[in-house]
C-alpha cells in the first residue's frame, strides 16, 4: 500500500469521512448563522457581541474554523493533484494555499478568543 504524505487522513476512506464530517459541521454553522440573521432583523453591534460572548457560540465557531481547515486541506490536495500536473508547481501551490488556510484559522482564533 502506498502512503500518501500530502493527504490529511491515513487513507482515501479516512479522507472521505473527514470531508463529510467537516461538511456537516460547516452546514450546521451556516444554518445557525442564517437562522440568527433571520430572527434578528435589526442587527446591531450589541446583539452581535452578545451572541459571541456566549461560550457555546465560541466553541461552535472554533469547531467550524477547524472543520474549514480540514475541508480546505483535503480539498486542495485533491483538486491540485487532479489538475496541476507539474510537481514543483503543485507542491508550491499546496504549500502557499495551506499556509493561507492556517493563517485564516489563526486569525479567526485570535479574533474569537481575543488571544
Q: What is the pLDDT of residue 12?
A: 85
Q: What is the pLDDT of residue 1?
A: 47
Q: Tally the domains of the chain.
A: 1
Residue 98 included in any domain: yes
Residue 7 included in any domain: no
**Global confidence as pTM:** 0.85
Task: Give the domain extent around 105.
Answer: 12-113
Residue 82 included in any domain: yes
Contact between residue 65 and residue 113 where contact means Cβ atoms under 8 Å apart: no
Residue 6 included in any domain: no
Q: Angle at CA 114, nearest 5°, toward 99 and 30?
A: 65
How many beta carbons lie within 10 A of that of residue 13, not counting itself?
A: 9
Contact between residue 74 and residue 7 where contact means Cβ atoms under 8 Å apart: yes
Residue 69 included in any domain: yes
Dihedral angle at the C-alpha atoms of 40, 46, 52, 55, nearest 10 degrees?
A: -110
The whole-number mean pLDDT for each consecutive block of 10 residues of the chain, a chain of 115 residues, reads 54 91 98 96 93 96 96 93 94 95 95 86
Residue 105 included in any domain: yes
Q: What is the pLDDT of residue 114?
A: 86
CATH code of the domain in which 83 resides: 1.20.1300.10
Amino acid at each position: 500500500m502506498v502512503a500518501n504524505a500530502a493527504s490529511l487522513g491515513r487513507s482515501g476512506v479516512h479522507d472521505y469521512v473527514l470531508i463529510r464530517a467537516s461538511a456537516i459541521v460547516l452546514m450546521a454553522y451556516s444554518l445557525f448563522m442564517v437562522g440568527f440573521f433571520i430572527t434578528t432583523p435589526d442587527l446591531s453591534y450589541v446583539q452581535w457581541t452578545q451572541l459571541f460572548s456566549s461560550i457555546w457560540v465560541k466553541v461552535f465557531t472554533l469547531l467550524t474554523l477547524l472543520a474549514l481547515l480540514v475541508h480546505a486541506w483535503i480539498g486542495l490536495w485533491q483538486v491540485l493533484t487532479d489538475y496541476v500536473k507539474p510537481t514543483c508547481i503543485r507542491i508550491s501551490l499546496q504549500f502557499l494555499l495551506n499556509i493561507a488556510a492556517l493563517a485564516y484559522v489563526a486569525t479567526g482564533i485570535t479574533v474569537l478568543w481575543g488571544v
